[in-house]
Structure 1
C-alpha cells in the first residue's frame, strides 16, 4: 500500500511539473507575441540589419499621412476613374488644375495626403515639369536618373518630364517608402537622400532635417489655404 501510494504521489508530482512547464512555455510564447505586436520599427532596404525604433518619434498631434492600411503595391494603382468621382478642390498654385486633380486621385488610391504631395512637388521643382537638376533629377517630383530603369519596368513610364508620367512615378516611389517607414519625416528623408543616406542619419539619431521641416511647413500652408476657401 505504501509503495502504491508513493507511486501515485510520484505520478501526481510528475504531472504537476509537466503542467507547470507547459504553462511557462505558453507564457513565454504569448509574451513574446505581445511584445512583437507592440513594437513599431523600421528596417532599411539596403541590407541594414539594425532596427530603428520610432515610437518616441511619433507625435500624437501629427496627421496620418498615408500607408497605414497594410497594403503592399507591386504595381501601379488603377488609373480608371472619371472626372468628378471624388470631392476635389484645387490649390492656388502654379500647377494646372487638371494635373492637380491627377495628383488628388492618385493620393486617394495610394492613401496619401494630397497637401503633403503637393508640398513636396513645390519644394522639389517649384511646379516646373521640365526641371532637370545638375544631379539628373527630373520633372515635378525630381526623380533621379538612377530610379528611371526600375520605374520604367514597373510602371511603363518613359518620359520623366511629362507631367502625368512623372507624377505617376514619383507617387509610386512615395507609396513604397510609406510602406517601409510609415513615419512621414523618415519617408521624406529617404525620398530626399535615398534610403542609404537617410539610414546613416538614423543611425546617428537624426530623424528630421531642414528638408522635411520645409515640406511640412508648405503642407500646412496648403491645408490652411483649402480650409480658408471652405470657410470663405
Structure 2
C-alpha cells in the first residue's frame, strides 16, 4: 500500500484546513517514500475525516495530559472537538493552529516549537486551560477565556464576554463535554 493524495486547502465552517499528504504520510507513518508502516494507509478508516488510528493515539495522549494537569479529559476533548474536530493541521482565519487552535503568542508562551505537532499542541492547550480554570473557577469561563482571551473574561467581570463567537463557542464546548461525559467510549475512556 502507498500513501498518496493531492494537496490544497479546504474551508469548513470558517476554518481553513491545509492538506499536505506528503507531510502527513511522512509524519504519521508512511516512511517518506510512500511505504506504509504499522498498518497506516491513506485509505484507512476515518472518523469525521480524521484517521481512526490517529484519533485513538491522540485521544490516549489527551487523556494522559488531562490527568497530568488535573483536568477532566472530557472537557479537553470537547475543546478539541469545537476547535479543530481533531484535524492536526487546522488553521483558523485568525491564525490559530493545530488540534487545540493555539494562537502564535499562546504557543510561544508555552514553549511550543511546532504548533501543528499534535503532542506539543495538546500539552500547551491543556496547560492553558488549567490556568484558566484555576483563575475563573468554572469550565464555562475557562472555555470563554480560551476562546476570547483571559483578559476579556476579566474585563467583563468574570463572565462570558458578549462576543458573538464566544457566546456560541461556550455552549458548543459544553454540549460536547456533556456528550462525552454520557458516552465515554467516544473518547476512548472506557
Matches of 1:200 and 1:179, distance apart in 2: 17
* TM-score of the superposed pair, with normalisation by structure 1: 0.52
Q: CA deviation at 1:116?
A: 0.9
- The alignment yields a C-alpha RMSD, in angstroms, of 2.6
- Asked if 1:179 corresponds to 2:179, the answer is no
Larger radius of gyration: 1
The answer as to whether partners of 2:180 and 2:186 remain within 8 angstroms in 1 is no
Residue 151 of structure 2: which of 184, 190, 196 is its match?
Answer: 196
* TM-score of the superposed pair, with normalisation by structure 2: 0.63
Name 2:103's counterpart in structure 1.
144
The answer as to whether partners of 2:141 and 2:160 remain within 8 angstroms in 1 is no
Q: CA deviation at 1:210?
A: 2.5
Name 1:101's counterpart in structure 2.
60
Name 1:211's counterpart in structure 2.
169
The answer as to whether partners of 2:144 and 2:153 remain within 8 angstroms in 1 is yes
Gaps of 5+ in 2: 1-46
Higher helix share: 1
**Other structure's SS at 2:100 match:** coil
Matches of 2:137 and 2:82, distance apart in 1: 21
Alignment of 1:1-232 (within 5 A): 94=50, 96-152=55-111, 157-202=112-157, 206=160, 209-226=167-184
CA spacing shift, 1:116–1:206, aligned 2, 3 Å: closer
Matches of 1:193 and 1:113, distance apart in 2: 21
The answer as to whether partners of 2:75 and 2:177 remain within 8 angstroms in 1 is yes
Q: CA deviation at 1:199?
A: 2.4
Gaps of 5+ in 1: 1-91
* 1:84-133 per-position Cα deviation (integer Å, ceiling 9, x unaligned): xxxxxxxx774521111111111111111111110110100111100111
Matches of 2:113 and 2:145, distance apart in 1: 23
Q: Between Structure 1 and Structure 2, how many residues are aligned?
A: 134
CA spacing shift, 1:206–1:97, aligned 2, 3 Å: closer
Matches of 1:214 and 1:206, distance apart in 2: 13
CA spacing shift, 1:223–1:206, aligned 2, 3 Å: closer
Q: CA deviation at 1:206?
A: 4.7
**Other structure's SS at 1:220 match:** helix
